């Protein structure tokens, strides 16, 4: 009975199963807790009666229906405690060691408070945090009222996540003094006058303080509840009512201009993801965890600093009329400490559904005198017209339908092989990943789904026909996730094609959305939603896609480390494991000997090909630069640090501009406008060059030439791209 209901639960919404089994009563009893007698000050933020009921409800759901079924005990309480402190003060810029020592009394109480619908500890900690923040704002004002000495030879460590807590208020004062000085120094070097810099920084902190004062009890509640949910699993999240509404509606409208989803991370507005088909996505210049530090309108308006802004206010500045220009200053997610923000120019537009669908292209490639035609199919996400599918409409829009059409067209054009590009594809409809796999294999299992009770369901391709049986490579990167990993993993397991690129994200879990209003009706505040992990994915071999993702047959160099990006960077991520393999029949299209040969050819090119050598050099530069944790606060030294970085970033641009000038000196740009236009043209051309894709073409060509059925041409690393 339970298994049947679990299937029903997953097919529809979690509400049905939860209601069927009947959760415990959500009344709470505060009298058993030491926090019951705590008296909040008049200006403290305090929990509401509704929040206490929601806390109890969420605790019941996670304890009984989350995939992991983690017991709510002292061990989990300790993790929640650490997460909450980190959520409030991740850079250790407000609390002191004494504050943390005082909070330690709550470390093993949070599990009991969660069970009893008690929020005293969460709000006590927050109110101390708020008071400490107010002290910091007052201190910054005092620093900005005095002259700043840029000649003293001292350093500053911007990233304090792994640092020790300041032992005293005086030590914290010194950290903040250096933080203020660092900002003023960078602005000074960029050409901003001292008086203007001080004025702008003073306004930044006044604005931050004003935003801070707008924080409401529900915001504190969400922070604490997510410290709880994320201790269980990084993809389980609680949404307060206003955030739940944004999750489904307002977010998509708010970020329509550039096509990016944003959220606050500390003092920064951070990019969560780029909406497929939007300007940000197509630019290939923005990635998750990039931080926006300033925004400018058009090509000539000055930048507005947005550090310390709320996301909603930043959005008002970023969005705008269609076909207008917005410029962003971005601190890249993989940028070393003390990096100079890069500038990204985007043209706002309305995001169109068709911009996010699969695309086809034919690539012409010349190899030792022989012409190759390669098909490129780019799939930004796994989409499906769910309503059309439910209604049985003929020709409803889907990934599989579009790709099938493209494959037939490519066969008619007699391509020699196909590249399926899944880079930055975050997933989508599971059934599309299954049916898409079916275009390349005969019928058979594609992915296994395991529920929390251990029941395993297998998703099969039941169509014996194969749309395309030629050579295939699947190109992935660190941001290929979920359904992308299912498709790539199946192609690899069936030995149907080569997977090349970076290790994928490693998201092998399934979430369902629970509307909590169904259980707590009549509450005056609304109660929000819970996104909860219910299942886990496994490949046909029995190996989970969770945590490890898909390891390419040929792995490209990457600046995105597993410890910083992807599932393996999340401490609470569900572990990798294995279940029994399914019965499936691999093809003979790829064998171990061929992969070894292809890897050797690729390794040779890494040493000789100019583009690959530059790529490796750039990645090594970034990795080495990221090892540096401090920056100089002495003007001459900091000036040199910034100049060296700018030279590195602009060296290629300058070379290209100089080269173009030398070839056609009569067309050399002389005025600043012409130079700017020339640089924009060069930058556009540079973005069109894709080292990873070029190497994918070489590997696919190598693969084709290794096929006994292919007329033999001596394999070499000399090729010519048309």
Which sequence positions are flagged as catalytic? 482, 493, 507
Contact 235, 511 (CB under 8 A): yes
Beta bridge partners of 292: 269, 330
- Residue 377: which of 347, 399, 353 has the closest Cα? 399
Up-side HSE of residue 148: CA atoms within 13 Å toward CB? 26
Residue with tokens 């609390």: 95
Describe the crossing of helices 483-493 and 430-438 by its angle, rounded to 10 degrees: 30
Distance CA 579, CA 308 (A): 47
Other residues' Cβ atoms within 10 Å of the Cβ of residue 224: 28
720 DSSP assignment? E
Q: Which residues of 381-410 are buried (b: 16+ CB within 10 A; e: fewer)?
A: bbbbeeeeeeeeeeeeebbbbbbbebbeeb
Distance CA 237, CA 229 (A): 6
Output the CA angle 591-592-594, nearest 5 degrees: 70
What does each C-alpha distance from 533 to 53, 222, 530 come to in angstroms?
22, 18, 10
Beta bridge partners of 418: 375, 472
Helices (H), 145-246: 169-189, 194-213, 217-232, 241-245
CA 177 to chain centre: 32
Contact 389, 348 (CB under 8 A): no
Distance CA 692, CA 478 (A): 13
Contact 484, 427 (CB under 8 A): yes
Distance CA 717, CA 609 (A): 8
Distance CA 632, CA 624 (A): 17
For the chain, the straight-line distance linking the first and the last C-alpha, in angstroms and rounded, comes to: 63
Burial of residue 423 (number of CB atoms within 10 Å: 0-12, 13-18, 19+): buried
Distance CA 432, CA 384 (A): 7
Say what the alpha-carbon torsion angle 251, 257, 260, 262 is, to the nearest 10 degrees: -60
Distance CA 386, CA 396 (A): 9
CA 616 to chain centre: 23
Element (DSSP H or E) covering residue 466: none
Tokens of 691: 């080292």
Q: Coil, strand, or helix at residue 14?
A: helix
Distance CA 66, CA 451 (A): 10
Distance CA 509, CA 463 (A): 26
What does each C-alpha distance from 277 to 381, 409, 627 come to in angstroms?
10, 23, 35
Contact 269, 306 (CB under 8 A): yes
């Amino acid at each position: 009975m339970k298994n049947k209901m679990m299937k029903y639960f997953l097919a529809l919404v979690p509400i049905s199963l939860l209601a069927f089994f009947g959760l415990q009563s959500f009344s709470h009893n505060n009298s058993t807790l030491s926090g019951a007698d705590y008296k909040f000050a008049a200006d403290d933020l305090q929990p509401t009666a509704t929040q206490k009921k929601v806390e109890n409800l969420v605790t019941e759901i996670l304890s009984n229906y989350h995939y992991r079924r983690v017991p709510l005990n002292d061990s989990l309480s300790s993790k929640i405690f650490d997460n909450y402190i980190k959520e409030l003060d991740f850079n250790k810029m407000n609390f002191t060691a004494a504050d943390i020592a005082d909070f330690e009394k709550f470390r093993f109480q949070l599990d009991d408070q969660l069970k009893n619908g008690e929020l005293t500890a969460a709000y006590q900690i927050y109110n101390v945090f708020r008071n400490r923040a107010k002290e910091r704002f007052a201190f910054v004002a005092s620093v900005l009222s005095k002259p700043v000495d840029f000649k003293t030879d001292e350093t500053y460590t911007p990233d304090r996540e792994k640092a020790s807590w300041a032992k005293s208020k005086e030590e914290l004062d010194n950290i903040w003094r250096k933080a203020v000085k660092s900002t003023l120094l960078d602005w000074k070097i960029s050409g901003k006058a001292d008086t203007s810099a001080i004025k702008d920084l003073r306004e930044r902190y006044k604005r931050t303080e004003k935003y801070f004062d707008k924080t409401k009890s529900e915001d504190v509640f969400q922070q604490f509840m997510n410290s709880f949910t994320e201790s269980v699993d990084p993809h389980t999240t609680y949404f307060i009512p206003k955030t739940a509404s944004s999750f489904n509606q307002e977010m998509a409208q708010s970020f329509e201009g550039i096509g990016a989803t944003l959220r606050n991370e500390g003092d920064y507005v951070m990019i969560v993801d780029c909406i497929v088909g939007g300007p940000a996505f197509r630019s290939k210049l923005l990635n998750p965890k990039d931080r926006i530090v300033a925004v400018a309108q058009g090509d000539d308006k000055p930048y507005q600093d947005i550090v310390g802004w709320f996301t909603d206010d930043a959005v008002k500045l970023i969005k705008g009329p269609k076909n207008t220009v917005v410029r962003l200053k971005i601190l890249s997610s993989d940028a070393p400490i003390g990096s100079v923000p890069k500038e990204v120019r985007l043209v706002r537009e309305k995001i169109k559904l068709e911009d996010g669908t699969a695309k086809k292209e034919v690539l012409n490639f010349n190899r030792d005198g022989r012409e190759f035609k390669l098909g490129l199919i780019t799939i930004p996400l796994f989409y499906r017209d769910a309503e059309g599918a439910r209604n049985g409409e003929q020709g409803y829009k889907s990934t599989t339908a579009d790709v099938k059409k493209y494959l037939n067209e490519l066969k008619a054009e007699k391509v020699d092989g196909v590249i399926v590009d899944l880079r930055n594809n975050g997933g989508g409809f599971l059934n599309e990943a299954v049916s898409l796999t079916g275009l390349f294999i005969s019928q058979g299992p594609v992915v296994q789904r395991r529920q929390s009770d251990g029941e395993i369901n297998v998703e099969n391709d039941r169509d014996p026909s194969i749309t395309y049986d030629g050579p295939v490579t699947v190109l992935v990167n660190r941001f290929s996730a979920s359904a992308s990993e299912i498709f790539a993993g199946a192609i690899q397991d069936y030995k149907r094609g080569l997977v090349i690129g970076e290790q994928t994200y490693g998201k092998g879990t399934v979430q369902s959305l629970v509307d909590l209003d169904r259980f707590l009706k009549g509450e005056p505040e609304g109660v929000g939603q819970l996104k909860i992990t219910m299942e886990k994915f496994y490949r046909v071999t029995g190996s989970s896609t969770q945590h490890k993702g898909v390891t390419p047959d040929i792995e490209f160099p990457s600046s995105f480390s597993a410890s910083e990006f992807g599932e393996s960077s999340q401490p609470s991520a569900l572990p990798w494991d294995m279940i029994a393999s399914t019965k499936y029949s691999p093809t003979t299209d790829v064998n171990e000997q061929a992969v070894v040969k292809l890897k050797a050819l690729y390794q040779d090119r890494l040493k000789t090909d100019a583009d690959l050598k530059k790529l490796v050099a750039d990645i090594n530069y970034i990795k080495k630069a990221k090892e540096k944790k401090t920056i100089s606060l002495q003007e001459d030294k900091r000036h040199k640090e910034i100049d060296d970085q700018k030279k590195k970033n602009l060296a290629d641009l300058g070379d290209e501009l100089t080269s173009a000038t030398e070839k056609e000196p009569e067309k050399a740009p002389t005025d600043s406008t012409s130079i700017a236009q020339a640089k924009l043209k060069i930058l556009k051309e540079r973005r069109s060059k894709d080292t990873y894709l070029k190497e994918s073409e070489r590997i696919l060509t190598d693969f084709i030439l290794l096929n006994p059925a292919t007329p033999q041409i001596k394999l070499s690393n000399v090729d010519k791209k048309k």
